[in-house]
Amino acid sequence: MITRDQLTASFRLDGRSALVTGAGSGVGAAIAEAFAAAGAAVLVTDVDPAAAAAVADGINAAGGRAESFGLDVRDGAAAAEAVSRAAALTGGTLHILVNNAGAIAPAMLADQTEETFRRIVDIHLVGSFLCSHAAQGLLPEDGTGRIINVTSAAGLTGTIGQVNYGAAKAGIIGLTKSLAKELARKSVTVNAIAPLAATAMTANIRSNEKLAAKTLARIPLARWATPEEIAPSFVFLASDAGSYITGQVLPVDGGTVI
């Protein structure tokens, strides 16, 4: 029989290192803070170095352990440097990679440009590939290695006015499933979470009365989550509690995708 102490311990991340991209604000910042609260040493990365540093400072002030690094995930050399720095937090092993960095450039197809399409795909999909590629050699093969990608309902069901974003997020699902099959032989799990939260990336929807009403009508729980409500699902998949889950997409979206 599992004891209370064993159950509690299965959600802990003590002694593990984590790299979170796009962690200067929103869901990424909440993930980094939750990982640190669970005992992990966290490298907080963001394209905005000052934002990443502020989140890391907050974690350290709260008694956790974190460092920061300015990272554009489209830069393969920078991704490799970030992975190396994160692994150095625990003696050269990177236990957890969260590919969260993202951006939006909404426009209907007729107004969409090749530049904006490529930029969004590069940030979300290519960035997730580059960070995962850099991390693969430093992930442990003892069952604690994790890659958690961030997708969206847009990648599962499509969305109007965001063909670039929807395509990128759908690509991340394919990347997740393929990596899960490939890295299972090394006992590394790869999953994706599709969150929906009140962040800067959803501000354009929430600030538009008509769009906000339509979006809430599609959410059975009829409200937006806070980033702090989303973060525990990442802790779950990163911890021993999620050790037998791989290749899956977990919507954390109030029932939007059912």
Question: Which residues are known to be catalytic?
Answer: 165
Cβ 197 vs Cβ 225: under 8 Å: yes
How far is residue 121 from each of residues 2, 5, 104, 172, 210, measured CA to CA in Å?
A: 44, 43, 10, 10, 28
| Residue 66: φ, ψ to 5° | -155, 150
**Distance in angstroms (rounded) separating the CA atoms of residues 51 and 32:** 13
Contact 98, 234 (CB under 8 A): yes
Alpha helix positions (H), 71-208? 76-88, 114-121, 127-135, 153-157, 163-183, 203-206
| 125/109 Cα distance (integer angstroms) | 20
Question: What sections of 38-126 are H helices per DSSP?
Answer: 49-61, 76-88, 114-121
